[in-house]
Amino acid sequence: MDVYGGLLSKLIEELSRLPGIGGKSAQRLAFYIINMPEEKVEKLSQVMLDARKNIKYCRDCYTLSDKEVCPICASPSRDHKTIMVVESPRDMAAYEKTAQFKGVYHVLHGVINPALGIGVADIKLKELIQRIQREDTEELIIATNSSVEGEATAMYISKLVKPSGIKTTRIATGVPVGGDLECIDEVTLLRALEGRITI
């Protein structure tokens, strides 16, 4: 039964199609939008349209940007000889929040996942290889997730890059801060042991 009438129900339905937005969240957002001043709704819709029309891939690292080259790749203060390979722009943003990595990134936009039909050609691997061939890359840091697909993608990249002689490293994984050892799975414990450092 349509409780609210056509337009409001349609708005709730469209909002609920967004990832991570369930029926209740969509309803809450719809009511919020309905109660916003009209000029703010217009501004929101215009920003969404502008973003959709103007955001594209950075020419160098393939993150999302409204410029041909993103601010990180355009920065002369970054170490362009060190490239961190990540799965998504969200992963890149997470590393940037640490303010510790001074190199540049390459965004794959996924990982190899044969079960979902995602192969080598479906992610930005070819672009990565072309990039390291044309640039003076000294180190490639592979920072894919420690899932089966992330590990497989990391291994595939390292095999592709090995003949070039570029130093290829993998981020360490292990016990999270505040984690109890008895609750951690065996693979994570093993990776923590292998990635140990001197203190």
At 175 the pLDDT is: 67
If you search the block for the tokens 């996942």, which residue do you land on?
A: 113
Q: What is the pLDDT of residues 31-46, one digit of tens each?
A: 999 999 999 999 999 9
What is the phi/psi pair of residue 51, to 5°?
A: -60, -45
DSSP 145: -
Residue 84 lies in a domain: yes
Mean predicted lDDT score pLDDT of the chain: 89
Residue 28 lies in a domain: no
Strands (E), 79-176: 79-86, 103-107, 139-142, 167-170
At 98 the pLDDT is: 84
At 34 the pLDDT is: 93
Residue 181 lies in a domain: yes
pTM given for the model: 0.81
| pLDDT for residue 1 is more than 60 | no
Query: Which one is predicted more confidently, 172 or 163?
Result: 163
Residue 49 lies in a domain: no
Residue 90 lies in a domain: yes
At 147 the pLDDT is: 84
User: Which residues constitute the domain of residue 135?
Assistant: 77-194
Residue 153 lies in a domain: yes
Residue 59 lies in a domain: no
* Beta pairing, strands 64-65 & 56-57: antiparallel
By the 8 A CB rule, do 167 and 146 touch? no
Give the number of other CB atoms < 10 A from CB of residue 57: 17
**Residues making up the chain, counted from first to last:** 199
Q: Please give the structure tokens belonging to residue 157.
A: 């990249």
Distance, in Å, from the CA atom of 145 to the CA atom of 148, rounded to the nearest integer, reads: 8
At 198 the pLDDT is: 61
What is each CA distance from 140 to 62, 66, 183, in whole angstroms?
16, 26, 32
pLDDT band (50, 70, 90) for residue 197: low
Q: Please give the structure tokens belonging to residue 135.
A: 């640039």
| pLDDT for residue 3 is more than 70 | no
At 195 the pLDDT is: 73
Flag the least confident range among 41-45, 85-89, 99-103, 107-111.
Answer: 99-103
If you search the block for the tokens 């079960």, which residue do you land on?
A: 115
Percent of the chain at pLDDT exceeding 90: 65
Q: What is the mean predicted confidence (pLDDT) over 56-70?
A: 95
Q: Domain holding 130: CATH number?
A: 3.40.1360.10
Distance, in Å, from the CA atom of 160 to the CA atom of 168, rounded to the nearest integer, reads: 10
Give the strand order in the sheet containing 139-142: 103-107, 79-86, 139-142, 167-170
The total domain count for the chain is 1
Residue 137 lies in a domain: yes
pLDDT band (50, 70, 90) for residue 4: low
How far is residue 93 CA from its own chain's centroid? 7
